[in-house]
């Protein structure tokens, strides 16, 4: 059975699907593409407003106490908890 779009729920702190992971699990310096927002509708709306919507390419700058991402030409800081709700996949070099 083909599984193109399964809800990306976290299972015991790991990735629910092999192709996506929470932003909080990504190493600093990695460029990723947002695939799914696993948060309440209100939080999803706010994330989209600040540029962290589905299909957006972002670069993780730091992943310590807070997560800092480069979104377009702006830096956005979010909490570790919020980063858990942003499911991303790595961007292959040269692919756009």
Give the chain's domains with CATH numbers: 21-90 (2.30.30.90)
Q: Which has more pLDDT, 53 or 64?
A: 53
% of the chain with per-residue pLDDT over 70: 78
Terminal Cα-to-Cα distance of the chain (whole angstroms): 28
**pLDDT at position 13, please?**
45
Q: Which two tokens mark 51?
A: 């540029």
pLDDT digit string, tens, across residues 13-28 = 455 566 899 999 999 9
Q: Taking all residues of the chain, what is their mean pLDDT, rounded to a whole number? A: 84
User: Is-above-0.85 flag for pTM?
Assistant: no
Q: Give the three-class secondary structure for 15.
A: coil
């Amino acid at each position: 059975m083909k599984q193109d779009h399964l809800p990306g729920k976290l299972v015991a702190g790991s990735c629910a699907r092999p192709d996506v992971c929470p932003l909080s699990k990504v190493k600093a310096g990695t460029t990723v593409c947002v695939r799914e927002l696993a948060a309440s509708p209100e939080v999803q709306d706010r994330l989209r407003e600040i540029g962290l919507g589905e299909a957006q390419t972002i670069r993780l700058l730091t992943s310590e106490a807070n997560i800092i991402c480069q979104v377009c030409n702006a830096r956005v800081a979010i909490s570790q908890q919020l980063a858990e709700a942003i499911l991303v996949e790595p961007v292959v070099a040269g692919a756009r």
